Structure 1
Amino acid sequence: MAAGGPASELILFIVAVIVAGSVAGGLAYVTTDIAHGMNDRGAMLADQLRTDFAIINDPNNVPVDTGTSSYNYTFYIKNIGKEPIAFTPDAVQVFIDGAMVPAANLTFTDVNGASISSLDAYEVGVIKVTLGTALTQGGYHTLTVVLENGERRSFVFRAP
């Protein structure tokens, strides 16, 4: 009887050490996972803070060129962030009144009309939106511009 007591205590001690080690390993894994998630989220937030833009049109006077069968609306975008942003139909999505404008109907240029692929910090770019029909004259419409990183701005304007 005397020999069974220390043996069972030794077995219980070994089991307790194994359980404690498993719990500590699980907590270390969860803590590491949370730390990596916070690091990734912080990097993404920092990227979004460095990338910022504004739509700088006069909401009551949006330029429009009327062609034979198309209407070209001109919108001015200013990069107010510290990082260049991609400025192409593949990287920027444009919505008017919730409907996505196809990339083929978008033209991206600088203010002088030259084609560009990125918009540097504090630079102004032009997005020309070509529509087959005119927007309701005098009606209010919403332009939404979404960058490739998800940053978006909306702009309510009155159609001329």
Structure 2
Amino acid sequence: MKILVLLALLATACSALVNSAVGDCSVINPIGNTIVTAGEKIKIMWANSHATVFPSIYLVQSDGVTTPIVLATNVSTALGEIVAELPRTLVPSNAYYMTLGKAPQSCQSGNLRIIGASSIIPDPKPPGGLENQISSGRFPKGANEAASTSLPLFHITFATIAIALGFILVV
């Protein structure tokens, strides 16, 4: 019985560590390894923010110029999303990421790959607007559901493993 209590405490402590490492909210779009083009618009989506406003949304290049680029300011977190335009002058790199908000109420996206701006200026209003871009695969469709279920699934899996180990140790 003592072992089960010990394992329950261990599972709770590990869960708390995972939650504190994740940050205040979750960036659900763009997902890690998304490829975007400098000069184009990008849809940024988040969930579970405890702040009411993000003072700034930054784009940071971790392998080059480390000065953050402000993509948006004073963004209401109740919206859950915003469309921002990436500067055309971004240096192509695989090591960009976004920071939404200010610590301790902030979150970060996974790495983004930004490719150079196209020499052809695209039509500013693509047919069907942003919804057409989402359904055509330009932005991942259904990223909201995938991201919101991945972390609880991790917790369930971790708890299941901890319980199974507890039973093995008792027997």
What is the TM-score normalised by the length of structure 1? Answer: 0.42
What is the TM-score normalised by the length of structure 2? Answer: 0.40
Larger Rg: 1
Q: Which has the higher contact order (CA 8 A, sep 6+)?
A: 2
